[in-house]
Amino acid sequence: MPDPLKLDFGLFGQLRRDAGADWDRYVDHAFVRALGAGTLPRPAFQHYLKQDYLFLIHFARAYALAGYKSATLAELRAAAASVSAIVDVEMPLHVGYCAEWGLSEADMQAEPEALETIAYTRYVLERGMAGDRLDLEAALIPCIVGYAEIAARLRADPATRTEGNPYAAWIDAYTSPAYAAVATGAIEAMDRMGQARGGAARYPDLLATFRTATRLEAAFWDMGWSARPAAC
């Protein structure tokens, strides 16, 4: 399916294309298709929501690390704004949304981290600690832009259920103009970092990081999909 958001540009676009089947498996996963069809079993979505809460905590930590790794005041401000957006805006919204699915914040705080959550979040942090700001961005961006692409693909897909879909609010959140601006801004920021930090010469390493993060995103869907009742 063509990219509905026209996100395939710049350094990110090259990474996305070269990730090939890994990217396709992430954005066209069975979990995602079931969201669009409205057929995803409730326990699978609830498990995903609990793990996503834990994931967001580590994602905020990764942006705090991005601040430390920033080379300019503009990058530092952007990283600080991302930490605040996750901690002060996205997480409260996530908690409110989860309450509609019968999950309290205490439930999510008490949930053990799934191995897939540990693997993904610690990988992102490791790339940031071992590398520079561009290495960290290569590990972060599949999540940011991938969700925008997934939701846009679902919105454009005739198979997506538009009436009475219990997951319509999830799709709406990631197809909003505000989130599209976040995704586009991340792509543009990565382009600037690539130009400033020799991205072309480092491309094979950046692609390896990007592909691994993309595979870990698909594994995160696997984790949610595996929580379906046995009869499904």
Task: CATH number of the domain at 92, please.
Answer: 1.20.910.10
**Is 55 inside a domain boundary?**
yes
pLDDT band at 185 (very low <50, low <70, confident <90, very high): very high
The dihedral over CA atoms of 185, 186, 192, 193, expressed in degrees to the nearest 10, equals: 160
Active site residue 217: yes
**Is 231 inside a domain boundary?**
no
Measured distance between the N- and C-terminal CA atoms of the chain, rounded to whole angstroms:
27
**Is 221 inside a domain boundary?**
yes
**Is 63 inside a domain boundary?**
yes
Share of the chain above pLDDT 70, in %: 96
The pLDDT, as a whole number, for residue 8 is: 74
Residue type, 101: W
Rounded-to-integer distance, Cα 166 and Cα 218, Å: 22
Give how many domains the chain has, as a whole number.
1
Which one is catalytic: 100, 143, 163, 232? 143
**DSSP structural state of residue 214:** H
**Is 4 inside a domain boundary?**
no
- For 230, the 3-state DSSP assignment is coil
Residues 135 and 128 sit within 8 Å (Cβ to Cβ): yes
Residue type, 14: Q
**Is 230 inside a domain boundary?**
no
**Is 44 inside a domain boundary?**
yes
The pLDDT, as a whole number, for residue 9 is: 78
The pLDDT, as a whole number, for residue 5 is: 57
The pLDDT, as a whole number, for residue 110 is: 96
Domain span holding position 88: 10-225
Residues 54 and 115 sit within 8 Å (Cβ to Cβ): no
Average pLDDT over residues 213-224: 97
Average pLDDT over residues 152-176: 95
Radius of gyration of the chain (CA): 17
pTM, whole model, 2 decimals? Answer: 0.93
Which one is catalytic: 75, 116, 137, 217? 217
Reported as a single tens digit per residue, the pLDDT across 125-150 is 999 999 999 999 999 999 999 999 99
Reported as a single tens digit per residue, the pLDDT across 46-98 is 999 999 999 999 999 999 999 999 999 999 999 999 999 999 999 999 999 99
The pLDDT, as a whole number, for residue 3 is: 47
